[in-house]
Chains A and B, each alone.
Chain A
Amino acid sequence: MKLKIRSMKKAQVITFDFSTSLIVFILFMAVFIGIFILSQAAEKKQEFELEYVFANLENNLRFSPNPGIDFFSDYRVDKAKLTTFVSLIGAGSIDDYVIGTVGNAHGIGLNPSGYSTCLYFTDNNGSRININGITALGYLNKRGASCEDVFSTSTDPCEEYENALAIFKPVLFDENDVYNNRIIQMNLVICKK
């Protein structure tokens, strides 16, 4: 009788131990899977929004209060207007134009303070096109340097950022001269803080 009670007690302890470990295991698994699914969804959302940065840039340039800087429209980059834009921006930030909203434009709803962006144009020989001495527009806040300076060091521009995104678009580089007009690559590097 005593032996029976002892073995039943033992069985109870084992059952309790097993149930506890199972519950803890299920809880841990649920937390891990939940966090994984959430992170995937967040990444997808971010990509979806950033898909429209070229359209956002085009829109911002059109509605900007500064006249004559709408250099990009309908897969065409107007060199004369791009030169005006480069003179206006210099080594400063272009985050408002790419991620945010300028003037009365409808933006993609992202806060430019969360991103740093660089814009450059790759020529048919693979080199970056030089406009008024600048080959890469934009400013990387976290690194405290212009895109031009960071690019010249050949390091990853988004080195100190959480995420990096590289987008390109084939565009006609319109120099208003059939001998120099050519289809080139317009590049955007977006670093997420």
Chain B
Amino acid sequence: MKHRRKMMGKKGYMFTVDVTIAIILLVIGIAFLFYNFKSSKTVYFTEQLAEDIIGVLAYTNTRDLCIDPGIGASEGCACPNYPNLSRIVCNENLKDADTNLLSVLSEVIERGLVDSSAVKDSVKEIFASKNIIDEKRFGFAILYLTRVAPTALELYNTECYLNPAIC
């Protein structure tokens, strides 16, 4: 009788543990489902961003931002809101200055008309300094590829990536 009672007690203890574990698992499952469906979250798109950066450069003409592109700054060429871009566009050696920004950037790189810092500063001026792309939230790099160059030329890389201490 005593032995039977002891066995029943053990059984009862096991059932209680079983039920407790089952309830915990059920609660975790329901909480997981609830979190998955009810949380209001903001989704940010970044996939399109690279295409947009190239797109806006390809669809913006030098004349949209600069006065008399293709002649020297002393002769009247200037980009009023973009002084760094003036270093690229106000160049009398450009073969085609009356075109889009992407073409002008390509020409100065291919023909070595300006030093690399001018391109880097220009990209930074257009996208990073003027609050178009927040470098603290979105890291981005612009690489330039040619058929002859063995590796991609890095035109720009997010400063936060190069020097995380500043961000």
Contact residues of A with B, CB < 8 Å? 28, 32, 35-36, 39, 47, 51, 74-76, 122-126, 158-159, 161-167, 169-172, 174, 178-185
Supposing A165-B43, A178-B64, A179-B80 touch, asked if A172 and B132 sit within 8 A by C-beta, the answer is no
Question: Which of B37, B40, B65, B132 contacts A158 (CB under 8 A)?
Answer: B40
Q: Number of residue pairs across A and B with beta carbons under 8 Å?
A: 95
* Residues of chain B lying within 8 A (CB to CB) of residue A183: 56, 60, 65, 126-127, 130, 132
Residue pairs across A and B with Cβ atoms less than 8 A apart, 8 shown, are A75-B59, A76-B60, A122-B131, A124-B130, A164-B41, A166-B42, A170-B132, A172-B56
Question: Which of A159, A169, A182 contacts B81 (CB under 8 A)?
Answer: A182
Give min CB distance, A172 to chain B, whole Å: 5
Q: Is B53 an interface residue (CB 8 A)?
A: yes
* Residues of chain B lying within 8 A (CB to CB) of residue A74: 59
* Contact across chains for A51 and B48 when beta carbons are under 8 A apart: yes
Q: Looking across the interface, which residue of chain B has its beta carbon closest to that of A164? A: B42
Q: Is B47 an interface residue (CB 8 A)?
A: yes
Q: Looking across the interface, which residue of chain B has its beta carbon closest to that of A39? A: B36
* Contact across chains for A125 and B60 when beta carbons are under 8 A apart: no
* Contact across chains for A185 and B40 when beta carbons are under 8 A apart: no
* Residues of chain A lying within 8 A (CB to CB) of residue B127: 170, 183
* Residues of chain B lying within 8 A (CB to CB) of residue A39: 36-37
* Contact across chains for A124 and B33 when beta carbons are under 8 A apart: no
Contact residues of B with A, CB < 8 Å? 29, 32-33, 36-37, 40-45, 47-48, 52-53, 55-56, 58-60, 63-67, 80-81, 126-127, 130-133
Q: Looking across the interface, which residue of chain B has its beta carbon closest to that of A185? A: B132
Question: Which of A47, A123, A165, A181 contacts B64 (CB under 8 A)?
Answer: A181
* Residues of chain A lying within 8 A (CB to CB) of residue B58: 75
Give min CB distance, B161 to chain A, whole Å: 19
Among all A-B residue pairs, the 4 with the closest Cβ atoms: A124-B130, A75-B59, A164-B42, A75-B56
Question: Which of A35, A162, A179 contacts B40 (CB under 8 A)?
Answer: A162
Question: Which of B29, B36, B41, B45 contacts A167 (CB under 8 A)?
Answer: B45
Q: Looking across the interface, which residue of chain B has its beta carbon closest to that of A189? A: B42
Give min CB distance, A192 to chain B, whole Å: 9
* Residues of chain B lying within 8 A (CB to CB) of residue A163: 40-41, 43
* Residues of chain A lying within 8 A (CB to CB) of residue B65: 178, 181-183
Question: Which of A123, A158, A172, A180 contacts B59 (CB under 8 A)?
Answer: A172
Q: Looking across the interface, which residue of chain A has its beta carbon closest to that of B60? A: A172
Question: A163 vs B43: C-alpha distance in the bound complex, in angstroms?
Answer: 8
Give min CB distance, B53 to chain A, whole Å: 7
Supposing A178-B65, A185-B131 touch, asked if A75 and B43 sit within 8 A by C-beta, the answer is no
* Contact across chains for A35 and B43 when beta carbons are under 8 A apart: no
Question: A122 vs B132: C-alpha distance in the bound complex, in angstroms?
Answer: 8
Question: A183 vs B64: C-alpha distance in the bound complex, in angstroms?
Answer: 10
Q: Looking across the interface, which residue of chain B has its beta carbon closest to that of A180? A: B81
Question: A166 vs B66: C-alpha distance in the bound complex, in angstroms?
Answer: 32
Q: Looking across the interface, which residue of chain B has its beta carbon closest to that of A43? A: B43
Question: A39 vs B65: C-alpha distance in the bound complex, in angstroms?
Answer: 46
Q: Looking across the interface, which residue of chain B has its beta carbon closest to that of A192? A: B40
* Residues of chain A lying within 8 A (CB to CB) of residue B66: 178
Question: A166 vs B42: C-alpha distance in the bound complex, in angstroms?
Answer: 7
Question: A161 vs B42: C-alpha distance in the bound complex, in angstroms?
Answer: 11
Question: A182 vs B80: C-alpha distance in the bound complex, in angstroms?
Answer: 10
